[in-house]
């Protein structure tokens, strides 16, 4: 070790997935298929909501924001991973790495805040059905979305700036498939205490506070249903809250699996597998959860396709 000639790392190598070389092709095809499904599924939701005026309600505007966020979240990491699996060992420069980390945090946090906005929307819809349109005005919706963006931009900027002051000098091999914040911290040769503290503080702001807000709006929804129990009310609540609740469970289920599951070895392998779960699987499933069980989305699909058929038969 020559200490005098200490070089500062200016680029990193992402090591990709911890799998055998003979499984690379299988995983490549699988990931490519899942990524394409994510892109197409979320684009379809966004286009449907833009095209169909029946879906211009707060719930669906939030949903299209959520789909946009899912689409971007997946696109921050998966294309690079596919490139790595394709056998291209591309070094990723330090600024590129920080940029990836920034956008990764941005869209992950945005999703969390949008889920809160959606929970508030369901709370107003079930508990104050008569005042719904006056409370959930376009102005309030825009404010909620704007607030989510402002919060998430500031939080990820803060993390990125804190990361930018660290220096990296030992290894430049990241045992992960994207520039993950904790993987980078492990490689740093500076003092990372402030970073770790901010991860803890901001992490709870982004995960626990939204969770409590969502939980309390569901507590109120359930108690308002049981105050005046009627089969119709319960059915309505289930049909409008079911999809949101499924997405929330998927989102927090992954987080709980990641952080709270007792694991003897906090190995890079487990981190990578869990990361695949939230970068690939969750964004892919969200549009399906919303479209499979949802009559409005199915109706919109039907209307768009029947319009197309009418046009094409008129055109002949």
Q: Token digits for 232?
A: 């119709």
- Residue 67 or 195 with smaller CB distance to ligand NAG: 67
Return the C-alpha torsion angle 283, 286, 291, 297, nearest 10. Answer: -90
Cα separation of 311 and 316, whole Å?
A: 9
Using rule CB under 6 A, residue 69 touches ligand NAG? no
Instruction: Considering only residues 191 through 220, tell me which ones interact with ligand NAG, judged by CB under 6 A.
Output: none
**Nearest residue to ligand NAG, scored by beta-carbon proximity:** 64
- Residue 47 or 185 with smaller CB distance to ligand NAG: 47
Among the listed residues 38, 42, 64, 217, the single contact to ligand NAG using CB under 6 A? 64
Using rule CB under 6 A, residue 19 touches ligand NAG? no
Tell me how far, at minimum, the Cβ of 249 lies from ligand NAG, in Å: 23
Tell me how far, at minimum, the Cβ of 54 lies from ligand NAG, in Å: 15
CB 182 within 8 A of CB 272: no
Using rule CB under 6 A, residue 286 touches ligand NAG? no
> In which residue are the tokens 């819809």 written?
125
User: Residue 300 half-sphere exposure, CB side, CA atoms within 13 Å?
Assistant: 20
Using rule CB under 6 A, residue 147 touches ligand NAG? no
Cα separation of 112 and 103, whole Å?
A: 14
- Residue 64 or 77 with smaller CB distance to ligand NAG: 64
Binding segment for ligand NAG among 2-10, 58-66, 188-196, 245-253 (CB under 6 A)? 58-66
CB 80 within 8 A of CB 177: yes
- In 10 A of CB 251, how many CB atoms? 21
Among the listed residues 48, 85, 145, 241, the single contact to ligand NAG using CB under 6 A? 145
Cα separation of 68 and 191, whole Å?
A: 36
Using rule CB under 6 A, residue 45 touches ligand NAG? no
Using rule CB under 6 A, residue 68 touches ligand NAG? yes
Strand partners, 14: 174
Total H helices, total E strands in the chain? 11, 3
Describe the strand order of the beta sheet including 91-93 as a list of residue ranges. Answer: 91-93, 11-14, 173-174
- In 10 A of CB 202, how many CB atoms? 18
Using rule CB under 6 A, residue 275 touches ligand NAG? no
Tell me how far, at minimum, the Cβ of 106 lies from ligand NAG, in Å: 15
19 three-state secondary structure: coil
Tell me how far, at minimum, the Cβ of 72 lies from ligand NAG, in Å: 10
Among the listed residues 14, 34, 61, 206, the single contact to ligand NAG using CB under 6 A? 61
The dihedrals phi and psi of 174, each to the nearest 5 degrees, come to: -95, 115
Q: Site mask, ligand NAG, residues 124-143, x = CB under 6 A?
A: -----------------xx-
Among the listed residues 38, 42, 57, 65, the single contact to ligand NAG using CB under 6 A? 65
Binding segment for ligand NAG among 61-69, 147-155, 189-197, 239-247 (CB under 6 A)? 61-69
Positions that interact with ligand NAG (CB under 6 A): 61, 64-65, 68, 141-142, 145
């Amino acid at each position: 070790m020559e200490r005098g000639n200490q070089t500062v790392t200016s680029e990193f190598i992402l090591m990709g997935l911890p799998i055998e070389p003979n499984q690379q092709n299988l995983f490549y095809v699988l990931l490519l298929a899942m990524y394409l499904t994510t892109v197409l599924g979320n684009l379809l939701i966004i286009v449907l909501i833009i095209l169909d005026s029946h879906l211009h309600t707060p719930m669906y505007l939030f949903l299209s924001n959520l789909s946009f966020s899912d689409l971007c979240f997946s696109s921050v990491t998966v294309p690079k991973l596919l490139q790595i699996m394709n056998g291209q060992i591309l070094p990723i420069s330090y600024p590129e790495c920080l940029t990836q980390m920034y956008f990764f945090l941005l869209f992950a946090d945005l999703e969390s805040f949008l889920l809160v906005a959606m929970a508030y929307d369901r709370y107003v819809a079930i508990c104050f059905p008569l005042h719904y349109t006056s409370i959930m005005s376009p102005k309030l919706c825009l404010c909620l979305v704007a607030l989510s963006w402002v919060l998430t931009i500031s939080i990820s900027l803060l993390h990125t700036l804190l990361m930018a002051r660290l220096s990296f000098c030992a290894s430049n091999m990241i045992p992960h498939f994207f520039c993950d914040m904790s993987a980078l911290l492990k490689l740093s040769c500076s003092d990372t205490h402030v970073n770790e503290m901010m991860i803890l503080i901001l992490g709870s702001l982004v995960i626990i506070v939204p969770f409590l807000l969502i939980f309390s709006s569901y507590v109120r929804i359930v108690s308002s249903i049981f105050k005046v129990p009627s089969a119709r009310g319960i059915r309505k609540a289930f049909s409008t809250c079911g999809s949101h609740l499924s997405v929330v469970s998927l989102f927090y289920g992954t987080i709980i699996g990641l952080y709270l599951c007792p694991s003897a070895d906090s190995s890079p392998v487990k981190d990578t597998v869990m990361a695949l779960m939230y970068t690939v699987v969750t964004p892919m499933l969200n549009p399906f959860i919303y479209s499979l069980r949802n009559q409005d989305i199915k109706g919109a699909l039907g209307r768009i396709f029947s319009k197309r058929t009418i046009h094409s038969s008129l055109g002949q």
